[in-house]
């Protein structure tokens, strides 16, 4: 994430919500969540770091009866240490819980469970082995990201999916170190890489990787390559253009009005002789 974005407008669709949740990742989130639904994998959803709710809104679209979406973010609460305070002042100066809630309720009837606290508290709030999907997008500082990854491993089901944001952005080296450390030394198997996010599991990666590869190769708007690195097969996905076929997205309660039809053409009649 780079700079704060405008927060006061009621969103007419998901892409009106400020945030850095690109169409390719919307497609990938939806694919993983829909695969879990097809397989009747039951479990809660978790997001560490919500900003203004763009990805949380999509996660909420995939909740089923008896499941809970938990969102953990400091929002406007002052971070506990100087490094976090500097990061928050630079990138999240307009972030408030009210803005998040306003955006989320533009698409859903009820709010998710909100933990307004540092992400290191999440294992006190969510039960071990209860989540099927976790999105980590909180601090960019190595120590915090490393802790968030450890928490995700504890809270996920054995075949659960974790998504690490900003794992290769030039301004987030701490995330990159923590992400690849998890792959090399902490048992995380990468499944897919987008331009912003690493999708992985601590379960068996092969079944989900093969299904995803087949699904992506059927699309003409996503470029797919497969590489080997340190004993891991990596699917790399890249949007071919800015126009992608969107997944199923939640509808806003404030849709933009349809454009007015063009005014009828008036025949001026024959020119005066």
Interatomic CA distance for residues 11 and 102, integer angstroms: 9
Dump pLDDT digits (tens) for 103-157.
Answer: 999 999 999 999 999 999 999 999 999 999 999 999 999 999 999 999 999 999 9
Residues of the chain with pLDDT below 50 are 1-5, 273
pLDDT at 5: 47
Report the candidate in 7, 151, 8, 144 with the shortest Cα–Cα distance to residue 87.
144
Range 231-235, long-range pairs (CB < 8 A, 24+ positions): 232/183, 232/189, 232/190, 233/205, 233/209, 234/190, 234/192, 234/193, 235/191, 235/192, 235/193, 235/209
If you ran DSSP here, which 8-state letter would residue 15 be given?
G
Place of tokens 């009649």: 269
What angle, 0 to 180 degrees and rounded to 10, lies between the N-to-C axes of helices 23-38 and 54-61? 20
DSSP β-bridge partners for residue 235: 192, 226
Burial of 224 (0-12, 13-18, 19+ CB in 10 A): middle
Domain residue spans in the chain?
14-239
Tokens encoding 268: 């001026």
If you ran DSSP here, which 8-state letter would residue 242 be given?
S
Residue 190 — φ and ψ, nearest 5°? Answer: -70, 140
Interatomic CA distance for residues 196 and 21, integer angstroms: 9
Report the candidate in 15, 55, 48 with the shortest Cα–Cα distance to residue 242.
15
pLDDT at 95: 80
The model's pTM is 0.88
pLDDT at 242: 78
Report the candidate in 117, 38, 114 with the shortest Cα–Cα distance to residue 74.
117
Dump pLDDT digits (tens) for 31-56.
Answer: 999 999 999 999 999 999 999 999 99
What angle, 0 to 180 degrees and rounded to 10, lies between the N-to-C axes of helices 23-38 and 205-217? 120
pLDDT at 94: 67
pLDDT at 213: 98
CATH number of 14-239: 3.40.50.150
Report the candidate in 80, 55, 70 with the shortest Cα–Cα distance to residue 115.
70
Burial of 177 (0-12, 13-18, 19+ CB in 10 A): middle
Tokens encoding 129: 């082995």
Interatomic CA distance for residues 131 and 135, integer angstroms: 11
Counting every residue, how long is the chain?
Answer: 273
Rounded alpha-carbon distances, angstroms, from residue 154 to 32, 114, 123: 20, 19, 8
């Amino acid at each position: 994430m780079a700079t704060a974005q405008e927060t006061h407008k009621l969103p007419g669709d998901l892409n009106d919500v400020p945030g850095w949740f690109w169409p390719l990742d919307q497609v990938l989130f939806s694919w993983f969540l829909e695969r879990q639904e097809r397989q009747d994998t039951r479990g809660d959803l978790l997001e560490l770091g919500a900003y203004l709710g763009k990805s949380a809104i999509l996660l909420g679209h995939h909740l089923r009866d008896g499941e809970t979406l938990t969102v953990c973010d400091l929002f406007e609460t002052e971070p506990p240490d100087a490094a976090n305070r500097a990061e928050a002042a630079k990138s999240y100066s307009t972030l408030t819980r009210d803005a998040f809630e306003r955006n989320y309720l533009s698409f859903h009837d009820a709010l998710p469970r909100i933990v307004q606290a540092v992400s290191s508290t999440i294992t006190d709030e969510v039960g071990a082995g209860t989540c099927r999907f976790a999105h980590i997008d909180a601090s960019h500082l190595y120590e915090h990201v490393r802790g968030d990854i450890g928490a995700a491993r504890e809270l996920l089901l054995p075949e659960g999916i974790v998504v690490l944001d900003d794992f290769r952005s030039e301004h987030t080296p701490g995330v990159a170190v923590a992400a690849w450390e998890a792959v090399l030394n902490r048992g995380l198997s990468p499944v897919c890489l987008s331009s912003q996010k690493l999708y992985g599991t601590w379960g068996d990666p092969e079944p989900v990787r093969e299904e995803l590869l087949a699904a992506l190769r059927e699309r003409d708007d996503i470029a797919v390559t497969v590489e080997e690195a340190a004993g891991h097969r990596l699917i790399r996905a890249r949007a071919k253009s800015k126009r992608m076929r969107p997944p199923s997205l939640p509808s806003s309660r404030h849709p933009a009005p349809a454009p007015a039809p063009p005014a009828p053409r008036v025949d001026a009649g024959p020119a005066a002789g």
